[in-house]
Amino acid sequence: MRDTDFDEGIMSGATWHKFCDQLKQTGDQIMRPETPTDPRTKAEGFRYLTRLLRLGLEMHVEFTDPEFPVFFSPCHETMKIGADNPDNFYQMCGLRGDCEYLIKGHRNTINYLSFRTQKGGYETDGKMIECGFFDGKDLILDADGYFEITISCDHQEGNWLPLDADATAMIVRQTYHDRQTETCADITIERINANTKPQPLRAVEFAQGLMRAADFVTNTSNLFNDWAQSYQAHPNQLPPADQALCQSVGGDPNIIYYHSYWELSDQEAWVIDVDRIPDCDTWNFQINNYWLESLDYRYHRICINKHNAHYNHDGSVTLVLSHHDIGHPNWLTTAGHFKGTCLFRWVGLAAGEEQCNPTARKVNIAEIANLELGSKLVKEKS
């Protein structure tokens, strides 16, 4: 299309009408026949679409200029996507393969830190393919903990994050053990040799960004609805996910994922046993709603990790999900939900270590009293 065509669409209002019509049609995702029919889940589904829209607008309208990238958070307490990690602080920015960038930062005390450049996007082909990856453990720091990372297609000495010619974005994951005591890395990004200033908004840029935001809402909701539907084939189990699929949509290569679906009555509990904890940066388990949004971890205990878990005497871990607090030290709440999705992660397995696959079973609440409660964790499990 010519730029004048976009101008005409903005001037006539046709672009806005097209945007709104697509969002209206996308609402049908929440009414798919396999989705739960209770009012809470439906309300969360439509709220989910509004959250995806907020994110889509930030990605494609507000923070869309790869010549002047700015970090923003694509997932947080009120904007969730694809089983967002409650222990994470996520940051993202747009990039372009014919530019070079410089990250400046201070490492601080966050437990896990990774940087990933990627291409594609949910708004186009539903993929986010890795271009380059940098593990925070490999950072070269100065004596005061400061660092710089060069992002470019051409190899650089020191801290270097590879970039492909068709790269579109970068995502940063910072993973807490304990939000109360750890401090995230402070980072900024700038384009190297940026000698100009951002230009005023043009109609063509806004029109294209608006429709990309709509496509993001449509394609993202469809993608993760398909995921949730597929998990219903193994309810209340916790098998390994398709790792290649997880990586193809933006997963961290240091993470091994286990996605599933759970459903519990008021008198049932779901018990997850992990017989062995391998040497790793961390692990965690979280409870999500049907739409693969983590439940509200600000007010409900819906996630547990390597640092705050209680371990059995033999070093194994037993986790329990139920509607009511039954006194188990590793109890997680459903937060009023009777079905949903979940995710277990191993993060940063040490060289030579293999994951231990969790096992899961649904039991009557009365049986929980017979489970080994274990002893309170005094120091971090290594």
202 & 53 share domain: yes
Residue ranges in 161-279 assigned as alpha helix (H): 203-231, 243-248
276 & 325 share domain: yes
40 & 118 share domain: no
Q: Is 184 inside a domain boundary?
A: yes
357 & 273 share domain: yes
Number of domain units in the chain: 3
pLDDT of amino acid 370: 66
Both structure tokens of 354: 């293999």
In angstroms, the CA 254 to CA 353 distance is: 12
207 & 253 share domain: no
Q: Is 74 inside a domain boundary?
A: no
113 & 44 share domain: no
27 & 98 share domain: no
pLDDT of amino acid 378: 35
328 & 261 share domain: yes
Q: Is 301 inside a domain boundary?
A: yes
In angstroms, the CA 10 to CA 17 distance is: 10
Q: Is 122 helix (H, G, I), strand (E, B) or coil?
A: coil
pLDDT of amino acid 371: 62
238 & 172 share domain: no
Residues 6+ apart with CB under 8 A from 213: 19, 53, 56, 57, 59, 60, 61, 123
**What are the per-10-residue average pLDDT scores of the chain (382 residues)?**
81 97 98 97 98 98 95 97 98 97 98 97 92 98 98 97 97 96 98 90 95 98 98 97 96 98 97 97 98 98 98 95 94 98 98 97 84 42 42
236 & 305 share domain: yes
pLDDT of amino acid 1: 67
Can you give the residue range of the structural domain that contains 160? 87-189
Residues 6+ apart with CB under 8 A from 245: none
In angstroms, the CA 256 to CA 246 distance is: 9
Q: H or E segment at 261?
A: strand 255-263
Provide the angle, in degrees to the nearest 10, between the axes of the packed helices 3-12 and 203-231. Answer: 80
Q: What are phi and psi of 173, to 5 degrees?
A: -110, 125
pLDDT of amino acid 382: 41
In angstroms, the CA 109 to CA 123 distance is: 35
218 & 362 share domain: no
Q: Which pTM was predicted?
A: 0.94
